Structure 1
Amino acid sequence: MDKFIYKNKLDITALSAKMSKFSYKKHAHEEYTLGVTLNGVQQYNLEGVSQTSYKNGVMLFNPEQVHDGKAGNFKDGLDYVMLYIKPELFLEALEKKDIVTFSKPIVYEDKLKNDILNLSYSILNNKDITLCNELYLNLMSNFTSKDFSLEYTNETEFIKKAKEIIYYNLDEVLDIDEISKELSISKFQFIRIFKANTGITPYQYFLNCKIVHAKKHLDTTKDLYGTVVEFGFTDLSHLNRHFKRVYGVTAYEYISKS
């Protein structure tokens, strides 16, 4: 049986997941995402490269890295935990101003694994915020080494501008013709260049942004129908369907369990 539990504290979201037949569609998160495979095998494509995390594997995702995900063997199932950490909080703990990225997608490091588990379980079990702060700093101490991080290579100005245009028009219908006109290229060139640089099409990026911001809106308001209207979904079932493809639960289930 597939089960996804989300809890929030310190601007960090913790996820406890059990899944077998469910599979994530291509998506990306705005946060740094850290996870531990507890049981089973987790398989996913990260920016087009196949990855496999076995038991005790620590998965490291940079902000906006496109990936999917599934259990390696649905008969055995898959148990794992994840932490979603906002970039500004991640960089504050590192005392850095510039974005950094993980140099390896999967590592097997006992201290890092245990620090992720300690913080995730504390958030999931609603432990004292002071304890969570201390556990968060313990976790972040792992990333002061160059073994885990490197300087970020900036996106091209073209891709950055394209993302901004899409990002600031989430409540409207995606108009590829209008965007490509603003960027002074054909719509087919735009789609081709965008996918080559991000791993997903402009429409997939548009939907992903809508879902990410719908989740933020739900975290603050718990208002399902307000979220439908705010982000231009056709109806609640439309929001639920796309929400589940990224988070494993419907928007309704998310606010009911959080």
Structure 2
Amino acid sequence: MDKFTYKNRVDITALKAKMEKFSYKKHSHEEYALGVTLNGVQKYNLDGVSQASYKNGVMLFNPEQLHDGESGCNDESLDYVMLYIKPELFLEALGKKDIVKFSSSIVYNEKLKQDIINLSSAILFEKDESLCSELLLNITDNFSTNDFILDYKKENLIVKKAKEMIYYELDDVLNIDEIAKELNLSKFQFIRMFKANTGITPYQFFLNCKLIHAKIYLEHTKDIYATVVEYGFTDLSHFNRHFKRVYGVTAYEYIQSLV
């Protein structure tokens, strides 16, 4: 049986997951994500490269890093914990000002593994926020400058402008024709360029951004129907179908787990 439990504390979301048949659709998160494979094998494509995290593997995801996910072992369940840490909080704990990226996506480090498990448990069991902050510092103390690379990547200006235009349409229907016209491209030139630069189509990017912002809105309001209206989903069924493909639970199950 697939089971996903989420809890929030000090701007960090902890997830404890057990899955057998579930698979994540291609998506990304706005946060840094750090996780530990407790049992089984987690297989996923990260920026188009196949990865496999075995028992005790520590998974490291950068913000907006595209990935999917599934259990890689048919005869046992995949159990793991994951922390989603807002970039500004993670960088503050690291003592960094500039955006950095993990230089490795999977490591096997006993102390880092245990520190992630400790903070996950503290959040899931709703321990004091001061303790959670100290446990976050324990995690970041595992990293040195060599574990990161500075993010100096210059984004294609056309793609950057396209993303900005898509952000403005999150509560509406994506109009690729209008965006392409504004960028002085044909519709198909635009789709091809966007996918070549980001790894996903404009519609996939639009839907992923819509879900990220809808989840944040849902966390603050606890109002599912207001979220459906605010972000232009056809109805609750439409919202839940997309939400579950990325987060493993329905919107209602998600807010119930946060209570």
**After TM superposition, is the score higher than 0.5?**
yes
Q: Which residue of 1 aligns with 2:3?
A: 3
Deviation sequence 1:199-228 (CA, Å, 0-9, x none): 111101100111111110111010000000
Q: CA deviation at 1:95?
A: 2.3
Q: For 2:77 and 2:146, how far apart are their aligned partners in 1?
A: 31
Which residue in the other structure is 1:222 paired with? 222
| Paired residue type of 1:26 | K
Rounded to whole Å, the distance in 2 between the matches of 1:71 and 1:154 is 35
**Correspondence for 1:111:** 111
**What is the CA–CA distance in structure 1 between the aligned matches of 2:146 and 2:96, rounded to whole Å?**
16
Q: CA shift at 1:112, angstroms?
A: 1.1
Q: Does 1:177 align with 2:167?
A: no
Distance in structure 1 (CA, Å) of the matches to 2:256 and 2:109: 35
Q: Decide which moves more: 8-17 or 106-115.
A: 106-115
Distance 1:132 1:198 in 2: 34
CA distance in 1, matches of 2:173, 2:237: 18
SS for the counterpart of 1:218 is helix
- 1:207-256 CA-to-partner distances (Å, cap 9, x unmatched) read 01111111101110100000000000000001000000100001111112
Cα RMSD after superposing both structures: 0.9
| TM-aligned CA deviation for residue 181 of structure 1 | 1.1
Q: Report the Cα distance in structure 1 between the residues aligned to 2:156 and 2:142, rounded to whole angstroms.
A: 30
* 1:229-240 superposed matches below 5 A: 229-240=229-240
Provide the C-alpha distance between the structure 2 equivalents of 1:223 and 1:205, rounded to a whole number of angstroms: 24
Aligned residues: 257
Separation in 2 of the partners of 1:20 and 1:135? 30
Q: Partner of 2:194 in structure 1?
A: 194
TM-score calculated relative to the size of structure 1:
0.97
- For residues 193 and 91 of structure 1, the distance between their equivalents in structure 2, rounded to whole angstroms, comes to 31
Deviates more, 1:36-45 or 1:165-174: 165-174
The 2-side partners of 1:255 and 1:88 are apart by: 24
Residues in 1 aligned to 2:157 and 2:114: alpha-carbon distance in whole angstroms? 39
Q: Secondary structure at the match of 2:172?
A: coil
Query: TM-score, normalized by length of structure 2?
Result: 0.97
1:57-96 map, 5 Å: 57-96=57-96
Q: In the aligned structure 1, how far is the partner of 2:183 from the partner of 2:120?
A: 43
Counterpart Cα distance in 1 of 2:44 and 2:9: 27
Deviation at 1:146, TM superposition (A): 2.8
Query: Structure 2: where are the runs of 5+ without partners?
Result: none
Q: Which stretch has the larger CA shift, 18-27 or 85-94?
A: 85-94
Q: CA deviation at 1:158?
A: 2.1
Could you say which residue in structure 2 is the equivalent of 1:16?
16
Structure 1: 5+ residue stretches without partners: none
Please give the alpha-carbon distance, in whole angstroms, between the structure 1 residues aligned to 2:74 and 2:27.
21
Counterpart residue type for residue 134 of structure 1? E
- Other-structure match for 1:139: 139
Q: How does 1:22-61 map to 2 (within 5 A)?
A: 22-61=22-61
How far apart, in 1, do the equivalents of 2:138 and 2:160 lie? 34
